[in-house]
Amino acid sequence: MLTAITRGVSPAINQCELSHLERQEINFARAVEQHHRYEACLREMGVSVVPLAPEPDLPDSMFVEDPVVVVDEVAVLTRMGAESRRTESESLGRAIADYRPLRWLREPATLEGGDVLRIGKTLYVGLSARTNQAGIDQLAEELGPFGYDVRPVAVHGCLHLKSAACALGGRAILANRAWIDMSPFEGLSIVDVPAGEPRAANVLSIGDTVVVAAAFPETAGLLEQMDWKVRVLDISELMKAEAGLTCSSVLFET
């Protein structure tokens, strides 16, 4: 069964970290409602959702993708590039420990799960403002014994690798080529985001369905024309915190 760990929206979300967006007031009640709809969408697609309580003192803690990388054999707790977020790993680690043995990255490594795009046994990892080479090297050391190939990808125009490229299923990805080095993706099928929707690459692919943010209708239409099953979800308040669709859940098979 596909399981998703989520966490409620922190009431401190308006103090979230921002790197590429100007700060706007986030309507907390609307953000909570949108997050509940996100969880409902996962359940409607057959995912077992395990919700964790909000962390009032950790503004970004809803974004559970970043503190951990989960593969079939283990879960690797990351050391996040945003120092203010590093304590998020503690409670998330306790939840993940019910499903996977834990490993931990160590100083001087920094790595955030939003920089990790997995396709089969290959993990493409963004070399970004939040993830350094030491983090990529330590992740490779932890996962190499299980047969995983970890490949660095230079990120130069966005927060995380998955801000610019996400899996669509099979060996296809949706990508904004302007924000990352595309050479590590040679051999994959690339679908380009529409020019007018540069932030649209962060989609959530589950089974034969791709969830697309409602802010990106051209991208939703493009994928539908290519015969993908598409669900559209409004995450407009969450996007003010630099959210995408992948960052609010940790998905793995149980």
Higher pLDDT, 188 or 91: 188
Tally of structural domains, the chain: 1
The single residue listed with the structure tokens 């834990």 is 102
Is the bond leading into 108 cis (omega within 30 degrees of zero)? yes
DSSP 27-46: -HHHHHHHHHHHHHHHHHTT
- pLDDT class of 230 with cuts at 50, 70, 90: very high
Angle at 146 between CA 205 and CA 207, to 5 degrees: 15
Residue 10 DSSP symbol: P
Which of 26, 12, 28 shows the shortest CA–CA distance to 84? 12
CA torsion, ordered 196, 159, 71, 183, to nearest 10 deg: 70
Q: What is the pLDDT of residue 187?
A: 97
Catalytic amino acids? 160, 247
Q: What is the pLDDT of residue 142?
A: 98
Domain holding 212: CATH number?
A: 3.75.10.10
Q: Which domain holds residue 171?
A: 2-253
- Tell me: the pLDDT tens digits for 112-166? 999 999 999 999 999 999 999 999 999 999 999 999 999 999 999 899 999 999 9
Query: Is the entire prediction scored with pTM above 0.95?
Result: yes
Enter the tokens of residue 71.
Answer: 């593969």
Mean pLDDT across 224-246: 97
- Tell me: the pLDDT tens digits for 20-72? 899 999 999 999 999 999 999 999 999 999 999 999 999 999 999 999 999 99
